Structure 1
Amino acid sequence: MKSFRTIMAASLAATTMLSLAACGSNTSSNEGTADNPVTINVWAWEPTLTPVAKAFEKKYPNIKVKITNAGTAQKQYTAINNALQAGKGAPDVAQIEYFAVPQFVLQNSLKDLSEFGADKFDGYYTPGPWASVTYGGGVHALPIDSGPDAMFYNKETFDKAGIIEAPKTWDEFYEAAKKLRAIGAYITCEPANIAVTEAWIWAAGGRTVTADGENITINYANDPIAQQYYAFMQKLIDEDLIDTKLSMWSEEWYKALEDGSLATITTGAWMAAMLKDGVTTGEGKWRVAGLPQIDANTDGNGEDGGSSLAVLEGSDKASAAYKFVEFAAHDREGVKIRIDKGQFPADTETMSDEQFLTKTDPYFGDQKYQDVLVEGAKKVGTQWQFLPYEVDARTRFGDYIGKASSGEITYQQGIEQWQESLIQYGNGQGFKVTTGQ
């Protein structure tokens, strides 16, 4: 079996070859000048980056930005890996979710932005996103948004079910679920959602992964807090209090949000903008609350989503590419464009802005919902680590937990089987993976 160091050395050599093939010379310091105009290729699915690019081109008229939607998240990651392996076609800049950063870092696919001065931005971003982009040392990307977890709920449906206020604990969430089923609604859906699962465990103080170089301890099945979550989910499944057939982002899911038969979504702060765009009939019905806690004595939070912009190691226009990344993620003009269009920030300056905090929206019943989301961002635990092959881990989660949703096995058994597959995969990739106790 190849060792972790052998894999890393081979990856670095391959990346160097790709870089040489793409560049033919060292990065030019005069990229984007009148004497050397350039076009940088950006792969991103986030629509607010288009107006950001237009503003950037006004500030840097000799740098043109071509944005391509190569697919959302996993589809784009696959396309990037295919391009890197082929030695051609990779973008200069890519949007990468925080959980996926470690995997690209270990492949030596991302440029260390410290050489451009990005290491000086520590403190500008909230701890969670900054820790994610500085995985393994260096600054491998810059945060453009964040996803502190929250509960988005349909107040109209809650009122019909006699639920006076949003549940604050898991027990209250369970009681609310029973009241909602009594009127034919579900409180939530899709128990086989890895992002939701991790965020709830994270918020409760669990720690399912410890990664230190080639040494990884996986504790999904054994962490006591995680086990409490699985038992909680099992109870919801057994009592038909969670819709096990409905999947997020499906046409049926949107319909359930529109007609009120699905009462909550527990996910990242970015859902505020997604709801407004995707469920237009919900204006005035929706509200935002903190994520339900494991008990009344806990006050934590996790993250679901959020993304960064990275410069690919093989880019022959790295200097110009970084200018765009810095403009979108750090320049106040670039940040403001995205925030004004509904994206949730990753920077502390915006989160402390009084105008931002007191902003109301008729869609959320004129609630100061940003204040709720910012409070959630402050509570995100710093103990959490993603697997250095989290992208692969997430693709297989549903294969195991889907069996629990259908009643073939228990939720705990599904986690145990999934964990075993993660151990085998990791060891096969040259990591030293053990199980926590």
Structure 2
Amino acid sequence: MKNSHSNWMRMGAVLGASALLLGTMAGCAADSGSGAPEDVDAALQEETTLTWWTWGDDTQEMADAFTKENPKIKIEVVKMDNPDAVVTKLQNAVKAGTGAPDLVPAEYQTIPQLTMGGALADMSEFGIDEFAGDFTESTWNAMNFQGKQTGIPMDSGPMVMIYNQELFNAAGITAAPTTWDEYAAASAAINAYDPEAYIANSGDAGFMTSMFWASGGTPFSVDGENVTIDLQDAGTKKFADYWGTLLTANQLSPVSTWSDEWSKALEQGKLGSLLMGSWMISGMDDYSHGNWRVAQIPSWDGKPASAQNGGSGLAVTEQSKHKAAAAAVLEFMATGTGRDIQNTKGFPGTTAIMDDPAWLDVEFATYDGQKANVEGKTASENVIDGWQYLPFQGYANNIFGDTVGKVLGEKGDINAGLVAWQSDLVEYGNAQGFTVNK
């Protein structure tokens, strides 16, 4: 399970997948034409072949279910290695003016760069907006960029705390920490109990940006081609100061998330907690003997406050010549059979299932029978509004290790790393044709 999550849920990206030449890509965007909701039903009566790129193992099942109900539509599923490969190939198709699929998955963090780059179509004209109420607000908004509804959410990742109850008990921690002060006390207790055990590792780009979000930070703002970056805004700096205190006190493990060392630390009880998206609730089987539990991530005042960490949606490309038929697939994946399939493949982003007793009452052996989905629901209801990703977020995450990541490894000043990261991002964004911090 851990390997399936390590590719698509991590928030990093390779340079080739993140480079965005705004002027070139937008200039190559295909004419989206016009459409209407009634065109969707009409498209299902015509012999049509759609192409659906994917990095997931379950897309063929979804495509087969759709074509079974709509026999005049054929779907060719093209499997790629990971999200980075999909983004790279899609951007190359936009530059070339041809070669894009009809349907494409997109991580929420890549929606701004792909939309601004002319890769994704606005599907509002086909009536997709009518499904807004079927999804949690944070996931639906993630698929909308500057008024363009590029598609529908597929899964979500509201952050939760998955913690080792056995280690907590041994260290004298009697309850899951609800505030960051309590979390710091738990960190010290764990390290005092076992100097080789830590409450968490220092984290990566995806973790850090999600924690800035959960702390009320808004370091990135996008208005058209105008971008503002402030990695010292109040919420961002507040968490950086806090995490830096644990770091310099040698209370954060140096192991990298998803590494073999990280897996070993989980299995051996050397990591006390994971602050991750709720998709990880079903991903702990390899590390647990019933000794883990799920709770809300700590907050400054003890009241639930969460952020998204990972997740992706299904979009339609500007180059697609069958947008109405592709819109029918979006509708299929929004409700009914398609959504039922999707909701078994990861943590859901739909509202109806959040009130479904059959889903809420699932007892997880990993958590000694805890109904852990309840915690995921609470997290989804408390995702803080107002977050924006950069239109070159993939690049930002890729170079995170050169600045903030380096500081984390050296147990240095996180804020100094953030300032250096910001400087690199401002320079890069301006070079790519954006107007950054001007």
TM-score by length of 1: 0.87
- Evaluate the alpha carbon distance shift between residue 57 and residue 273 of structure 1 in structure 2; reply closer, same or farther with a 3 A threshold: farther
Q: Which amino acid aligns with 2:360?
A: L
Which residue in 1 is equivalent to 2:102? 92
Which of the residues 328, 331, 334 maps onto 2:335? 331
The answer to whether the 8 Å contact 1:199/1:304 transfers is yes
The answer to whether the 8 Å contact 1:150/1:373 transfers is yes
- Distance, in Å, in 1 between the alignment partners of 2:394 and 2:322 is 27
- Distance, in Å, in 2 between the alignment partners of 1:30 and 1:63 is 12
Which residue in 2 is equivalent to 1:24? none
Moved more, 384-393 or 305-314: 384-393
| Equivalent residues in 2 for 1:17-36, closer than 5 Å | 33=45, 36=47
Which residue in 2 is equivalent to 1:401? 404
User: 3-state DSSP class of the match of 1:260?
Assistant: coil
Which residue in 1 is equivalent to 2:376? 373
Which of the residues 249, 258, 266 maps onto 2:275? 266
Q: Which amino acid aligns with 1:112?
A: D
Tell me how far 1:291 sits from its aligned partner: 0.8
- Distance, in Å, in 2 between the alignment partners of 1:402 and 1:199 is 15
Q: Which amino acid aligns with 2:263?
A: Y
- Evaluate the alpha carbon distance shift between residue 119 and residue 190 of structure 1 in structure 2; reply closer, same or farther with a 3 A threshold: same
1:151 and 2:151 equivalent?
Answer: no
Q: Which amino acid aligns with 2:165?
A: K
The CA deviation string for residues 50-107 of structure 1, in whole angstroms up to 9 with x for no partner, is 3222322211223233333323223321222123323444322111111110111101
User: 3-state DSSP class of the match of 2:177?
Assistant: coil
Tell me how far 1:240 sits from its aligned partner: 1.6
- Distance, in Å, in 2 between the alignment partners of 1:367 and 1:420 is 45
| Equivalent residues in 2 for 1:113-132, closer than 5 Å | 113-132=123-142
The answer to whether the 8 Å contact 1:49/1:338 transfers is no
Which residue in 2 is equivalent to 1:290? 296
| Equivalent residues in 2 for 1:339-358, closer than 5 Å | 339-341=343-345, 343-358=346-361
Tell me how far 1:30 sits from its aligned partner: 5.9
- Evaluate the alpha carbon distance shift between residue 53 and residue 274 of structure 1 in structure 2; reply closer, same or farther with a 3 A threshold: farther
The CA deviation string for residues 272-296 of structure 1, in whole angstroms up to 9 with x for no partner, is 22223xx1x5142221110111233
| Equivalent residues in 2 for 1:1-400, closer than 5 Å | 11-16=25-30, 33=45, 36-38=47-49, 40-181=50-191, 182-183=193-194, 184-191=196-203, 193-220=204-231, 222-244=232-254, 246-276=255-285, 279=286, 281-296=287-302, 298-328=303-333, 330-341=334-345, 343-400=346-403
Q: Where in structure 1 are there 5+ consecutive unaligned residues?
A: 1-6, 21-26
- Distance, in Å, in 2 between the alignment partners of 1:117 and 1:348 is 19
Aligned pairs, number? 411
The answer to whether the 8 Å contact 2:47/2:73 transfers is no
User: % of aligned pairs identical?
Assistant: 33
- Distance, in Å, in 2 between the alignment partners of 1:382 and 1:169 is 20
- Evaluate the alpha carbon distance shift between residue 123 and residue 419 of structure 1 in structure 2; reply closer, same or farther with a 3 A threshold: same
- Distance, in Å, in 2 between the alignment partners of 1:178 and 1:28 is 58
- Distance, in Å, in 1 between the alignment partners of 2:73 and 2:184 is 54
Tell me how far 1:9 sits from its aligned partner: 6.6
User: 3-state DSSP class of the match of 2:293?
Assistant: strand
Tell me how far 1:204 sits from its aligned partner: 1.9
The answer to whether the 8 Å contact 2:216/2:384 transfers is yes
Q: Which amino acid aligns with 2:390?
A: L
The CA deviation string for residues 311-367 of structure 1, in whole angstroms up to 9 with x for no partner, is 111123333323223222x122211222234x2111111112232222222222111
- Evaluate the alpha carbon distance shift between residue 123 and residue 83 of structure 1 in structure 2; reply closer, same or farther with a 3 A threshold: same
Moved more, 415-424 or 207-216: 207-216
- Distance, in Å, in 1 between the alignment partners of 2:164 and 2:213 is 25
Q: Where in structure 2 are there 5+ consecutive unaligned residues?
A: 1-20, 34-38
The answer to whether the 8 Å contact 2:28/2:97 transfers is no
- Evaluate the alpha carbon distance shift between residue 28 and residue 203 of structure 1 in structure 2; reply closer, same or farther with a 3 A threshold: closer
User: 3-state DSSP class of the match of 2:133?
Assistant: coil
Give the RMSD, CA atoms, in angstroms: 2.4
- Distance, in Å, in 2 between the alignment partners of 1:399 and 1:97 is 23
Moved more, 285-294 or 7-16: 7-16
